[in-house]
Amino acid sequence: MKIACIAGARPNFMKIAPILSAIKKYPKLEPILVHTGQHYDYEMSQVFFDELDIPEPDVYLGVGSGSHAVQTAKIMIAFEEIVNQYKPDIVLVVGDVNSTLACAIVGAKLWIPVAHVEAGVRSFDRTMPEEINRILTDVISDFMFTPTEIANENLRKEGIPDEKIFLVGDVMIDTMLKYKEKAKSTQILKRMGLSEGSYALMTLHRPSNVDIKENLVKILSALEAIQHRIKIVLSLHPRTKARLKEFSLESRVAKMDNLIITDPLGYLEFMGLMIDAKFILTDSGGMQTESTVLNIPCLTLRENTERPETINYGTNTLVGNDTECIIQESLKILEGKGKSGTYPSIWDGHTSDRIAEILNSLGYK
């Protein structure tokens, strides 16, 4: 059974890696790895293939950057040709990026069953492009592999029948648990002059935070206060870097003596930093989950989350881009009052095994 496995952007690579590994345990299953090229440079793409033992893609579409419409259209056009050439039995997509939706649409319109990993995840904020991608992908998918019971319930409320829903866990946690010890052995802390618990780790890239100058300034104002109390390591996304220059905020950032700026890091070094961080500042979805499993306090710079489990019984707190809220919650953590928590038992590192077992049980030749 041929399975077209789609990866295109940085968040996809740590999700597709364990799935490919699990699928290869079954002789019946033949993965075809398709890299759309949505993220295409070394820091955003190739380093993940190198570090996570992902094989060379069978197909590289090379679509590059563009607006949501342009990128989605280019992926659809290119992927349709690949489907006609390879004739997969299933199209497997992960997450919520443009590659996810584009390839799902192509599969559905060519009557090829679509499997969506991380289905049912909802922020209920349709101003987020990812939310549109999630909803539309689930509507046209035949197999929905969900991370939590909350995701199952979201799908049921949208009219998805139970026979299409499979609770399997969070595939990102598979990768994190597999490579945790290797990540801890990197020399990233030594190289950056850091020690365990001596810094906060930060990522920032959401358009709502960085494309609006007022919002970006509010976050920088919080950092100016926090960095007097603890070092902050900011892994600088290309989008954020561009906006800092566009809004003439580079000099303001440069004046923060305890703000350490790095280019995007590979998976292992970044995970090494996360494991030993005092706390996390992020607007990423995945880091909310990872920090909860690591039992590290996380302040999410958003008004909502598609990961409610991390709020309800994990280590996550929503702070938006409210300057005072970010500062006060950071100080609480530094005073030993940060959240600790737990996480679903099904986040056990075997999500990809469950996905592969289900795929192997299907009645395809």
pTM over 0.85: yes
Domain with CATH 3.40.50.2000 in the chain: 2-170+347-361, 179-334
Spatial distance between the Cα atoms of 279 and 305, rounded to a whole number of angstroms: 18
**pLDDT of res. 183:** 96
**pLDDT of res. 37:** 86
**pLDDT of res. 121:** 98
Fold of the domain built from segment(s) 179-334: Rossmann fold (3.40.50)
Q: Confidence band (pLDDT; 50, 70, 90) for 49?
A: confident
Q: What is the pLDDT of residues 199-227, one digit of tens each?
A: 999 999 999 999 999 999 999 999 999 99
Q: Could you tell me the end-to-end alpha-carbon distance of the chain, in angstroms, rounded to an integer? A: 5
Query: What is the dihedral angle through the alpha carbons of 134, 140, 141, 142, rounded to the nearest 10 degrees?
Result: 160
Q: Average of pLDDT values for 326-347?
A: 96
Residue, of 37 and 112, whose pLDDT is higher: 112
- Given 39, 205, 237, 350, which residue is catalytic? 205
Kindly state the tokens that stand for 78: 């290119």
Whether 39 shows a pLDDT value over 90: the answer reads: no
Q: Average of pLDDT values for 186-193?
A: 95
Whether 230 shows a pLDDT value over 50: the answer reads: yes
**pLDDT of res. 137:** 98
Q: Confidence band (pLDDT; 50, 70, 90) for 42?
A: very low
**pLDDT of res. 365:** 56
**pLDDT of res. 217:** 98
Q: Average of pLDDT values for 186-200?
A: 96
Q: Alpha helix locations (H) across 110-258?
A: 129-139, 149-157, 171-184, 188-192, 207-210, 213-226, 238-246, 250-254
Q: Average of pLDDT values for 360-364?
A: 83
CATH number of 2-170+347-361: 3.40.50.2000
Q: What is the pLDDT of residues 347-361, one digit of tens each?
A: 999 999 999 999 999
Kindly state the tokens that stand for 116: 């969506």
Q: What is the pLDDT of residues 118-142, one digit of tens each?
A: 999 999 999 999 999 999 999 999 9
Spatial distance between the Cα atoms of 208 and 320, rounded to a whole number of angstroms: 10
**pLDDT of res. 363:** 73
CA angle (309 as vertex; 317, 223 as ends), nearest 5: 20
Q: What is the pLDDT of residues 52-107, one digit of tens each?
A: 989 889 999 988 888 999 999 999 999 999 999 999 999 999 999 999 999 999 99
Q: CA-CA distances (angstroms) from residue 248 to 212, 252, 253?
A: 13, 8, 10
| Closest to 96 measured CA to CA, from 36, 205, 29, 11 | 11
Q: Average of pLDDT values for 177-184?
A: 96
**pLDDT of res. 43:** 45
Q: Average of pLDDT values for 249-271?
A: 96
Spatial distance between the Cα atoms of 61 and 359, rounded to a whole number of angstroms: 25
Q: Average of pLDDT values for 139-160?
A: 98
- Confirm whether 68 is a catalytic residue: no
Whether 333 shows a pLDDT value over 80: the answer reads: yes
Q: Average of pLDDT values for 263-275?
A: 94
**pLDDT of res. 77:** 97
Q: 275-302 in b/e burial notation, b at 16+ Cβ within 10 A?
A: bbbbbbbbbbbbbbbbbbbbebbbbbbb
Q: How many angstroms from the chain centroid is the CA of residue 191?
A: 26
